[in-house]
Each structure stands twice: as structure tokens, then as C-alpha cells.
Amino acid sequence: MTNIIYNQFLQRFMGQEVDLVSEEYCIALFTDRYTPATGGSDTYFALSMAGMECVDENDLYSDNPYKGYKKGGKEVHFTKLEDTPYTSNFSAGKIQWDNISLSGDNSAYYAIIYKKNDGMLVACFPFEVPVACEDDTLILNWENTITLAISSSAGLSIDGELSKVSSNAVQNKTITDRIEKIYTGIEKFGIRLNEEGPDNDDWSDDESVDALNRIDESSIDHMFED
């Protein structure tokens, strides 16, 4: 399975509602009880409460902030790398856990980046093989390499039909509202010819109404002269 970026994050990123560099993010480890899916509205907090996050098996390090795996994972700090055409690139640098103990059903299958304040899922990174450690060090190293490459076609789903109740990442409702306003205006006022008056009292010269000019026969003949 390749790395995935979640739709809810993409929607907010494309709408400039989140900033990877200035806001706080974390990365946490999850077991195979979690099944990655790009859609939906799951948060880190919901997944962790459901027992999908790894738990360190060594109680000796439970109160030590520098050893063992702690619930919530580690903070990550993104830096902006040079963009490529139509793609924004970011690096999370190097993340390291010391003296962690994970094994068996508690082995790490995924590393998930999420927004610290609200738990919004950003990206999921499956390990090639389950990570099992016994009082060992785990390093995720993106130093000078791309962690997230976000393009304008980065897997967003698009509604097949226009809908005013859609919350799709492509703002379907906004588009539909605009089309409805345009259609209503055409239906009410229509298109008139210059020098023709309105057909009803609602149609005034103050309204923005499309108008066409008549072309007389001599003008048409002139268009086709050799």
C-alpha cells in the first residue's frame, strides 16, 4: 500500500484553511486494527480511543518523557521545500523514539500524521513490514526529503451530480448555487433585441439584461461580398 493523504485535510489545505508550517502537528503509531481510508471524518482521537494506537509494553518508561512510546506520538515540524510544477512539497524532518517496546498484536503497522488541536488526519504511512521493538530505537527520517507532496490532483473525489447539500472537497454546493442564480435570471428576464421594450413590468432598463442587435438584409449581403 502506498502512502495516502486524507481528503478532509486536502479540502482544508486547498481552501487555505490550514498551514503545515505555522500550525502544530504530531505523528502516532497504529496497529493493524486500523484500516486506512482516504475518505470519512475520523480523527486521531477517535481512532486512539477505539484502541487502534500502539501502546508501549514497558511500564518502566511510562513516566519518562524521553523513553518509551507515549500516547499521541511525537510532535512534527514541517518545513517547506522547493515546489515542483503544480505540487507543494513539505518535509517533516527526523522523528525518533528511544527505548520503545512493541510486539505481536501491538506491533506498528502505520505512522499517521495528524493536526494536534483537532485530531484531523493528514497522512498515513504504512510500514513495509510490521515494526516490532524491544527496548529499542525507532527513527522515521525525512531529512532533506519530501514527506508530503500535495498536487492539485492529489486524489480528491468529485461528485458526479450537482447537489446543494454536498460537502465534497470540490465545493459542489457553491457551484450549484451560482448556476441556480444564473438560470433564475435568464428565466425571468430572457434576452431582448435592442430597441424592443420589456414584456412585463418586472423588466426595467435598470436591470442587467442581455441585448442583441438586429442585422438588416443589406448588412448580411455586405458580409458575403467577395
Burial category of 5 from C-beta neighbours within 10 Å (exposed 0-12, middle 13-18, buried 19 and up): buried
Q: What is the pLDDT of residue 41?
A: 87
The ranges assigned to domains in the chain are 4-151, 172-223
- Phi, psi angle pair for 106, to nearest 5°: -100, 10
Run of H or E residues at 178: helix 172-189
Per residue in 3-35, pLDDT tens? 899 999 999 998 899 999 999 999 999 999 999
Share of the chain above pLDDT 90, in %: 56
Q: What is the pLDDT of residue 84?
A: 86
Span 174-183, mean pLDDT?
51
Q: What is the mean pLDDT of the chain?
A: 79
49 in the Ramachandran plot: left (φ > 0), alpha (ψ -120 to 50) or beta? Answer: alpha
Task: Please state the pTM of the whole predicted model.
Answer: 0.68
Share of the chain above pLDDT 70, in %: 66
Rounded Cα gap, residues 92 and 76, in angstroms: 6
Per residue in 190-204, pLDDT tens? 445 455 555 555 545
* Residue carrying C-alpha cell 436591470: 207
Q: What is the pLDDT of residue 108?
A: 96
* Residue carrying C-alpha cell 518535509: 91
Name the residue among 135, 150, 142, 109 with its Cα closest to residue 5.
Answer: 150
Residue 115 has pLDDT above 90, yes or no: yes
Ranking 64-68, 125-129, 159-163 by mean pLDDT, the lowest is 159-163
C-alpha cell at 74: 511525537
When pLDDT is cut at 50, 70 and 90, the band that residue 157 belongs to is very low
Q: What is the pLDDT of residue 183?
A: 47
DSSP 121: E
Per residue in 29-43, pLDDT tens? 999 999 998 888 899
- Phi, psi angle pair for 224, to nearest 5°: -105, 15
Q: What is the pLDDT of residue 217?
A: 63
When pLDDT is cut at 50, 70 and 90, the band that residue 224 belongs to is low
